[in-house]
Amino acid sequence: MTVHYVVRTFPRLSETFVQREVAELVRRGVPLTVWNLIPAEADEEVVLTPEVRAVVRDVPGLRTLVGAAVREAFARPVRFARAAGWCAAWAVRERDPRHLAAVPYAACLARRVPAGAHVHAHFANTPTTVALALGILGGQQVSFTGHARDLFAVTSPAFLADKVARGTFLAVGTEYSVSRIRPMVAPADAGKVVVVRNGLAAAPDVERAPEDGLVVTVARLVPKKGLPTLLRALALLRERGVGARVEIVGGGPQEDELRALAAELGLGDALRLAGPQGRDGVDDALGRAQVFALPCRREDDGDEDNLPVAILEAMQLGIPVVTTPIAGIPEAVIDGRSGLVVAQDDAAALADAIERLLGDAALREQLAAGAREVIAERFDVERNVGGLLARMRD
């Protein structure tokens, strides 16, 4: 069996979970090709092994896409009409003409992906639309992995249900996602929604030299990460005379808002916005962290994190974690065993938990040990990718 991945862009700095999955499939010797719908820009912060880089291909440009659509329309008129009709129907139903763009992409891939291959897409929106249109056109079996926003905010429940019906399975990272998605799909398709947790490889060789009072988070600067609550908690800690500092690794559209709030709260040098960092920069910050805090929240439009990989990486390194009980987070961060959990948007409770951890070395060690146990039990990349591959073969 050959496997072809359809992704928006690979690699992406914020999607290390896809890189680990691809690397594990390559390590297992699976005949694999990764198709980029949008070519990845050169990024010296993203380092792929030669073996992984060798399997990555970019979908050709506009002229080739249009030519492929015309060619497939004549070569396979019935299948092409079905694929185009499916995309057009959803474009009309959802008043979103972008769904039609999947047709030329699928046509282009139809001559490059064998009919007997298994096609797997990452993210339930555009990549999955392209993959399923390809399956209609070329006859390939298609599965897909959904993550967070693509499942709960971007893809409508009706369109997601149709995608599950047409695919062989939908893999999600948490039981929470299963509980939300199964009621959306037809009863006959409920069994197609399965848990395949994000996997972590062996812990990176990070030299841990925690700095007293340093609280680190790694996150995109977007509202669902709850970072204003972290800044307010920091201000409360300073008022109490606790020598805490916060370092946030990541970039995003909320940066100006966070800087303005930091100035309003008078945080000064107690806050550092480190910007986006590659693996070395992330590892450096985690190596210096005494506590990892990420107070995720559920947005009014339903957007929320599923289970941030940054939390898992901190747990794997034995950094005590403070977070919120959003979505699938409690499946990894078990309050009192593998971390501390506080209510979303509660700066006082977050400050209390951080102060408790900073002042109690024994508790930090206890939670670190519990976190490593949970990671080993549930988030091993070899075991989890093995389960994914078995479902593809089935």
Which alpha helices (H) appear in 218-278, and where do they start and end? 227-239, 255-265
Q: Answer whether residue 346 is part of any domain.
A: yes
Tokens at 313, concatenated: 């990486």
Q: Are residues 124 and 264 in the same domain?
A: no
Nearest to 139 by CA among 161, 121, 117, 124: 117
For 346-374, how does the pLDDT look when each residue is reduced to its tens digit (9 = 90+)?
A: 999 999 999 999 999 999 999 999 999 99
- Residues 168 and 242 grouped into a single domain: no
- Give the position of tokens 């490059």: 112
The three state secondary structure string of 100-145 is HHHHHHHHHHHCCCCCCCEEEEECCCHHHHHHHHHHHHHCCEEEEE
Instruction: Mark whether 188 and 298 lie in a shared domain.
Output: no
Number of separate domains in the chain: 2
Q: Is residue 17 part of a domain?
A: yes
Do both 131 and 78 map to the same domain? yes
User: 381 and 24 in contact (C-beta within 8 Å)?
Assistant: yes
Q: pLDDT value at position 46?
A: 67
Which residues lie below 8 Å from residue 383, measured CB to CB, with a gap of 6+?
Answer: 199
Q: Are residues 313 and 343 in the same domain?
A: yes
Name the pLDDT band for 300 (thresholds 50, 70, 90).
confident
Omega cis (within 30) before 204: no
Are 181 and 246 in a shared domain? no
Same domain for 324 and 334, yes or no, is yes
Instruction: Report which DSSP code applies to 151.
Output: I
Check whether residue 33 and residue 151 sit in a common domain.
yes
Residue 153 pLDDT: 87
pLDDT of 80 > 80? The answer is: yes
pLDDT mean over 246-255: 96
Tokens of 183: 């009621």
Q: Cα dist. 371→179, 289, 366, 377 in Å?
A: 24, 15, 9, 10
Q: Would residue 204 count as lying in a domain?
A: no
Q: What is the CATH number of the domain that holds 72?
A: 3.40.50.2000
Query: Domain limits at 223?
Result: 214-378
Backbone dihedral angles phi then psi of residue 160, each to the nearest 5 degrees:
-65, -40
Nearest CA to 145 among 355, 265, 357, 3?
A: 3
Residue 207 lies in a domain: no
Q: Is the pLDDT of residue 389 over 80?
A: yes
Predicted pLDDT of residue 147: 92
Q: Is 384 found in the same domain as 316?
A: no
Q: Is residue 209, in this structure, part of any structural domain at all?
A: no
Instruction: Please tell me whether residues 116 and 248 are part of one structural domain.
Output: no
Is 394 strand, coil or helix? coil
Q: What integer is the mean pLDDT of 291-316?
A: 91
Return the amino acid letter for 106. A
With a CB cutoff of 8 Å and minimum separation 6, the contacts of 340 are: 320, 321, 322, 323, 333, 353, 356, 357, 367
pLDDT of residue 219: 95
- Return d(Cα 54, Cα 202) in angstroms, integer: 23
* 337 has a pLDDT exceeding 80: yes
44, pLDDT greater than 70 = no
- Rounded Cα distance between 60 and 38, Å, is 9
Per-residue pLDDT band at 194 (split at 50, 70, 90):
very high
How do 193-195 and 214-218 pair as beta strands?
unpaired
- Examine the pLDDT at 380 and tell me if it is beyond 70: yes
Dihedral of CA atoms 74, 80, 81, 84 in degrees, nearest 10, equals -130
Kindly report whether the peptide bond that precedes residue 11 is cis, defined as omega within 30 degrees of 0: yes
Is the pLDDT assigned to residue 129 strictly greater than 90? Answer: yes
The bridge status of strand 56-58 relative to strand 118-122 is unpaired
Question: Please, which pLDDT band fits residue 278 given cuts at 50, 70 and 90?
Answer: confident
- The letter for the amino acid at 379 is F
Give the rounded distance of the alpha carbon of 381 from its chain centre.
Answer: 15
229 and 174 fall within a common domain = no
How do residues 309-326 score in pLDDT, each as one tens digit?
999 999 999 999 999 999
Residue 308: how many other CB atoms lie within 10 Å: 25
268: pLDDT confidence band, cut at 50, 70 and 90? very high
Asked if residue 218 and residue 141 are part of one domain, the reply reads no
Residue 127 has pLDDT above 60, yes or no: yes
The predicted model gives 149-158 an average pLDDT of 92
In a domain, residue 104? The reply is yes
- Band the pLDDT of 43: cuts 50, 70, 90: low
CA distances from 145 to 85, 99, 283, 326, 328 (A): 24, 19, 27, 20, 15
- Residue 153 in any domain: the answer is yes
pLDDT band at 42; cut points 50, 70, 90: low
Q: How far is CA 161 from CA 100, 158, 164, 170, 376, in A?
A: 19, 5, 5, 10, 33
- Residue 172 sits at φ, ψ, to 5 deg, of -130, 160
* 292 found inside a domain: yes
Mean pLDDT of all residues belonging to the chain: 94
Neighbouring C-beta atoms of residue 63, cutoff 10 Å: 8
Burial grade of 160 (CB within 10 A; 0-12, 13-18, 19 or more) = buried
